[in-house]
Amino acid sequence: MAKKISILVVDDEESVRDSLSNWFIEDGYDVDCAENAKKALQLIESSYYDIILADIKMPGMDGLEMLRRIKSLRNDAIVIVMTAFASVNTAVMALKDGAFDYVTKPFDPDDLSHLIRNASKQILLAQENETLKNKVVSLDNVEDLIGNSEAMKKVLKQVESVAQSNSSVIITGESGTGKELIARAIHANSPRKYYPLVSVHCGALTESLLESELFGHEKGAFTGAMYNRKGRFEMADSGTIFLDEIATISSKMQIELLRVLETKTFMRVGGNKETSSDFRVICATNRDLKSMVDQGTFREDLYYRLNVVNINVPPLRERVEDIPLLVDYFIKKYCITMNKPLIPIDEAAMQRLEQYPFPGNIRELENMIERAIVIGNGKKITLKDLPFGKEMIDNSIESLDDFEKTFILQILNKYSWNITRTAKALKVDRVTLYNKIKKYDLKPDE
């Protein structure tokens, strides 16, 4: 267990001392306060403080003089000086005299957290190094990764070996194979696990939205941006960023991303200050990135930057032996969620599941089991609870109109909403088709 960091706050204003003290106590630090330099020096002589946060302008001895005295008492003390008036000269003097950093009051909560975290990092570095060296490397938090098959064992082995490193990882695999779970397992077993895993679904965002999501924006960057917004890269500081559907990002974003990955610095949209962030990147895609590189739709340099380690998650049809384990897992999961007693699955139903090719992979299997628990008799999952054959008709269809609506929409989507081709396939004229679209209020995104 790491020792609690102790902080001494030195400020002549009571409200400042109280605010800072409350803030640090909530963050789990040990805090003492002093209202002037004299009292502070007495405390420093009698007690050990890891960090000293001191105001520069105080009656009697000022902060700079106090800084020099503290340094003569304890050269390794981390002193952060603060002032209500920004002055480059004072800042330079404080830093020359050995201050760790310099801040202007009032500060953003995030700046304060960063400042203390940076100082704490320095203090805890040696201790952390020792702990990490002694840490037994074993996989934790992989309870959601179910599978005993050789294919899955290989994936878990890769997760184990890559987790401890800092390398970029690309996770490939069909939709529904659990790529995000693999990313979570890597993060949960890495030294970064105490920091956030920030997920970004690149495919769901337009280029400008993705830019703002990834880099954040400054107050006034565009209409309505009243306050600063933190980007995902910043949020992933010390942690991991998971970029899902990486193949969908535009060529402009590919360039931006490459630059960030190389420098680990970026600017918020509308900002002019470089921000740095220490993150690890894990990407996922269901596309063949290499062939996209060959076709010129994905940058080669970015591909190599991201593809340090590749983990391919096998489709469910290639690890049929895992289906019973997964079925058990999902039955437990949904029975608990729905507050129902655990129910078994009969042999015929299990056999049918093992024969099915699962184009939607684990996600499809999970939906099937959830549905079976919802509609089943609560005693056993049988073949009739599974959406095969006749049962595959959508349960939401209760009338002829519902059926017609669903069917027309299906054919429209099949022909990408080409009216002529859809009408021809349905053997109706274009006017009839238009009337049906109007009647059922069909839209392309339905």
Partner 1 sequence: MTQQSITLISFGYFGKHFLEKIAEAVQLEFKVPVNFRESRLDLSEFFDPGRRQYNGDKILHAVESSSTPDNLKTMGLFSVDLFIPILTYIFGQAFLNGKTGIASLYRLSNERYGIEADEKVLLERFTKEVIHELGHTFGLIHCMSPNCVMRSSTYVEDIDQKYRNFCHSCRKLIGPESMTPER
| Interface with partner 1, residue 194, by CB under 8 A | yes
Pick from 390, 340, 397: nearest CA to 369: 340
Q: Per-residue string for binding with partner 1, 82-121, x by CB under 8 A?
A: -----------------------xxxxxx-xx--------
Distance CA 301, CA 259 (A): 11
Cis peptide before 344 (omega within 30 of 0): no
Element (H, E) at 301: helix 300-306
Q: By CB under 8 A, name the one of 225, 247, 309, 350 that touches partner 1.
A: 225
For residue 78, the Cα-to-chain-centroid distance in whole angstroms is 32
Q: Which is nearer to partner 1, 74 or 201 (CB)?
A: 201
Q: Which is nearer to partner 1, 176 or 239 (CB)?
A: 239
| Interface with partner 1, residue 210, by CB under 8 A | no
Q: Interface residues for partner 1 in 354-373 (CB under 8 A)?
A: none
Q: Which is nearer to partner 1, 21 or 168 (CB)?
A: 21
Q: Which is nearer to partner 1, 244 or 385 (CB)?
A: 244
Distance CA 117, CA 403 (A): 60
| Piece of the chain touching partner 1 by CB under 8 A; list 155-163, 222-230, 286-294, 390-398 | 222-230
| Piece of the chain touching partner 1 by CB under 8 A; list 218-226, 284-292, 300-308, 324-332 | 218-226
Are 249 and 297 a contacting pair, CB within 8 Å? no
Distance CA 249, CA 232 (A): 15
Q: Which is nearer to partner 1, 170 or 205 (CB)?
A: 205
User: Closest approach of Cβ 110 to partner 1, in Å?
Assistant: 4
Angle at CA of residue 302, ends 296 and 303, nearest 5°: 70
Q: By CB under 8 A, name the one of 43, 151, 181, 235 that touches partner 1.
A: 235
DSSP states of 152-220 as a string?
HHHHHHHHHHHHTS---EEEE--TTS-HHHHHHHHHHTSTTTTS-EEEEEGGGS-HHHHHHHHHEE-TT
Distance CA 129, CA 146 (A): 32
Q: Interface residues for partner 1 in 9-48 (CB under 8 A)?
A: 13, 15-16, 18-20, 22-23, 25-28
Q: By CB under 8 A, name the one of 3, 60, 222, 274 that touches partner 1.
A: 222
| Interface with partner 1, residue 445, by CB under 8 A | no
User: Closest approach of Cβ 119 to partner 1, in Å?
Assistant: 16
Q: Which is nearer to partner 1, 180 or 364 (CB)?
A: 180
| Interface with partner 1, residue 401, by CB under 8 A | no
Q: By CB under 8 A, name the one of 81, 163, 232, 437 that touches partner 1.
A: 232
Both structure tokens of 132: 């990490």
User: Closest approach of Cβ 231 to partner 1, in Å?
Assistant: 8
Q: By CB under 8 A, name the one of 137, 226, 400, 431 that touches partner 1.
A: 226
Residue 418, helix vs strand vs coil = coil
Distance CA 388, CA 386 (A): 6
Q: Which is nearer to partner 1, 282 or 372 (CB)?
A: 282
Instruction: Give how many residues touch partner 1 by CB under 8 A.
Output: 41
The b-or-e profile of 180-192 (16+ CB within 10 A means b, else e) is bbbbbbbbbbbbb
Residue 95 CB partners (closer than 8 Å, separation 6+): 102
Query: What values do phi and psi take at 207, rounded to 5?
Result: -60, -45
Q: Which is nearer to partner 1, 268 or 319 (CB)?
A: 268
Residue 428, helix vs strand vs coil = coil
Contact residues: partner 1, CB under 8 A: 13, 15-16, 18-20, 22-23, 25-28, 105-110, 112-113, 194-198, 216-217, 221-232, 235, 239
